[in-house]
Chain A
């Protein structure tokens, strides 16, 4: 195996402000292969930016080591790391033209003017802004500023490209466009890339692998499908996509599957998260994706749970139902809209069919949930 592009080993960051101590990043370990596209995903304040800034060298980790291309870079200052960083607000130099913005890093390196002109031209070509060389940042739209910011780091051919919510200042349409644009560039240049976002759609569509964070800790690292289909924790299940969670006590376990009595009165068997063995009587959440639920008009149909429709909302391609299972348990279901069938009305009794293959038991730890 080749040396990984980036390695974080038990990295932690503690901020001290007055008497406050914040563990912004807590024991993060991650290995990134060359050419990979990784996203950091998590709620606001979970430490994504701080982790990224430590990789860039803007902050020094309180604990742990950072290796880039196999070299220990933990204490190397940012201007010696050769890493590209794209800021949320682009941080273009407002007093320099596009040309000089893009040329800035090359000049720092002391390259000769001819080479600089050539490389700036290439970088701007790459992001499709060759015609804007002489303009100033305040004469560019948000999307164009974004591209200049990208060109500015790409001109340096960095070994690692870091981006902190680069699209969050753009409108929705442009955001979708830039997603594919960035991904296309990254694949074409084969750059290793770390991309911070709190938009799960962005993470799911762009990433090779996602690192989900919460309160400074890593919750799970995996491909988008892994994260979606096999969430390790209730937090991940809930944060990525939507999830119903029914609290239960398991009544048995065998071969990676556990079962428990569901409110309808019968036993439901499902995988356990990560295949962990759940002893009988473990408190666990049964996680079911709303789109993995089907409704039947017959509340008594075999293999279904009887429920009452509490609310039905038509959203175009889908209908979103809120279902009452009794005993305080509710479920959300997202059902494709069929123009030929009638909606289930509020108050109607329906049969709930759960796709047992996709359902998942996640043990509830003492403190969690």
Chain B
């Protein structure tokens, strides 16, 4: 691939003109075909084709069951609720961090605490909410609430909101701090009050970010599998868990596939709207050279008071949830025998050892291979013109746009029989992670290449360096920050994601996340907590190391690489 050439002149055949590029494209199309197109088509086939004929029978049958219809509306209602509450909460946090004159450590603390849910496995808040508000819940006892059945919509909604609002926070904080403070000054000197300024300038200019985070959270909640599985219960079915139970409980692959296709429709709709919005030129970016350094105006007093209360309580609550999980991991039996013990950790490091090493192996392999692939694809998409480029770009991102459950079901359908009997192998686990979570890497590589003038590469070639050397010595060092950002995202998700891989694990390869789920279903809360703590610590360390490397490399080249944690479809 690296020896390929960018040629814009039409000439007979790519295979003759540029064999290296041709070979690279064929290889890439084959792997995209195998791991993205094929599973997707097999999923559609399982849903819409029966006995060799196109049919809606499956859909009709699934839709005919009232419980499934409830799962569909449950998914939509939950996603709407999470999207609204999460965006509101994120906006308050983002305002507090970017727009207030609160002491710096307070703002630092607020933005740090939002990182925790981002790097934690998707179960974390469900587990700690169970410990706090579930049977024998600590907070219940402390508040003297007695029995409160929070399983169902409210528990799921609360847990997902806390888990996903940090994604929206990042989007909103970015847009709030990118605004021109001179606009505040302008409004102010034109006689506007703080209130009027906030509602006529700040809020309208945040609209693109607000819309984006509404969609992002809607998509995340729609695709979330772990939370409703633990907290949803029977009363509150949603599509991903329903599809999972259909397959694992009733061995009904077709029914599961059909349910996941139902999930696909709103998910693709949301993804489509999001892409369309990004494509539109946003007016926020239209500002000239800014003049003086200036500060954002003070927010309306009432709003600040509300922010102090909400952000304070939520931050405290999150901290409490993490504390409770730490505590829960070190007591004998939660709520019954609260004496201190390390036996759960002992268990994790003996019986759970294989899960730890397997998870690390899979995480590291996915990260390394996935980021290599991301560099290659990002480079191709950004620097080369070839037939089918747009299609290839779309296809390569498809698994990222799909909810994890859909991908997982598509994978078991596609890879469950010979000659592609891959379920249960490390190959399929790694492939599932790579083709889902390399998307951030591809995007950031493309973005950073876009900022590197092609004349740099031309300069290198005119100085006598070959294509390979130019790529290795000029291009690669410049995109390292982007690659690191992609790796960070890949690693976090390959360590913590479960929605796709739950269908693909086997006795040969176990994951920490599946062990957590098992412990939870066996009501071994303390064990689940210990597993979670170990996983959080592993990811946290890796995240800090990679964050440090990222900052260093960005500093060195004077570029800034935004880090993306976005959690869509974890």
Q: Per-position contact with B for A46-78: 1 when CB-CB < 8 Å, else 0?
A: 000110010011100000000000000000011
Give complex CA distance A53, B181 in Å.
Answer: 13
Q: Per-position contact with A for B285-319: 1 when CB-CB < 8 Å, else 0?
A: 01111111010000000000000000000000000
**Interfacial chain A residues near B286, Cβ < 8 Å:** 94, 137-138
- Least CB distance from B280 to A in Å reads 12
Determine whether A90 belongs to the interface, using a CB cutoff of 8 Å to chain B: yes
Q: Per-position contact with B for A77-109: 1 when CB-CB < 8 Å, else 0?
A: 111111111011111111100000000110011
**Interfacial chain A residues near B187, Cβ < 8 Å:** 93, 104
**Interfacial chain A residues near B185, Cβ < 8 Å:** 53, 56, 58, 78, 85, 87, 91
Nearest A residue to B181 by beta-carbon distance?
A91
**Interfacial chain B residues near A337, Cβ < 8 Å:** none
Determine whether A258 belongs to the interface, using a CB cutoff of 8 Å to chain B: no
Determine whether B369 belongs to the interface, using a CB cutoff of 8 Å to chain A: no
Nearest A residue to B185 by beta-carbon distance?
A58
Q: A58-B185, A87-B186 are in contact. Are A108 and B288 (CB under 8 A)?
A: no
Give complex CA distance A37, B68 in Å.
Answer: 75
Nearest A residue to B287 by beta-carbon distance?
A89
Q: Is the CB of A78 within 8 A of B291?
A: no
Give complex CA distance A153, B294 in Å.
Answer: 20
Q: Per-position contact with B for A118-144: 1 when CB-CB < 8 Å, else 0?
A: 000000000000000000111000100
Nearest B residue to A137 by beta-carbon distance?
B286
Q: A89-B180, A93-B201 are in contact. Are A156 and B290 (CB under 8 A)?
A: no
Give complex CA distance A152, B185 in Å.
Answer: 14
Nearest B residue to A162 by beta-carbon distance?
B189
Give complex CA distance A138, B196 in Å.
Answer: 23
Determine whether A202 belongs to the interface, using a CB cutoff of 8 Å to chain B: no
Determine whether A36 belongs to the interface, using a CB cutoff of 8 Å to chain B: no
Q: Per-position contact with A for B172-215: 1 when CB-CB < 8 Å, else 0?
A: 00000000101101111111110010001100110100000000
Q: Per-position contact with A for B333-359: 1 when CB-CB < 8 Å, else 0?
A: 000000000000000000000000000
**Interfacial chain B residues near A168, Cβ < 8 Å:** 289
Q: A91-B185, A104-B200 are in contact. Are A169 and B287 (CB under 8 A)?
A: no
Quick one: which of A156-172 are within 8 Å of B by CB?
156, 164-165, 168-169
Give complex CA distance A80, B194 in Å.
Answer: 12
Q: A108-B192, A156-B190 are in contact. Are A91 and B180 (CB under 8 A)?
A: yes
**Interfacial chain B residues near A84, Cβ < 8 Å:** 189
Q: Is the CB of B289 within 8 A of A79?
A: no
**Interfacial chain B residues near A88, Cβ < 8 Å:** 288-292
Nearest B residue to A164 by beta-carbon distance?
B291
**Interfacial chain A residues near B193, Cβ < 8 Å:** 79, 108
Residue of A83, A90, A94 touching B205 (CB-CB under 8 A): A94
Q: Is the CB of B190 within 8 A of A58?
A: no
Q: Per-position contact with B for A227-267: 1 when CB-CB < 8 Å, else 0?
A: 00000000000000000000000000000000000000000
A sample of 12 more A-B contacts (CB under 8 A), given A58-B185, A89-B288, A104-B187, is A49-B291, A50-B292, A57-B189, A78-B189, A79-B188, A80-B191, A81-B189, A108-B190, A108-B193, A145-B288, A153-B190, A168-B289
Q: Which residues of B are at the interface with A, using a C-beta cutoff of 8 A?
A: 180, 182-183, 185-193, 196, 200-201, 204-205, 207, 283-284, 286-292, 294
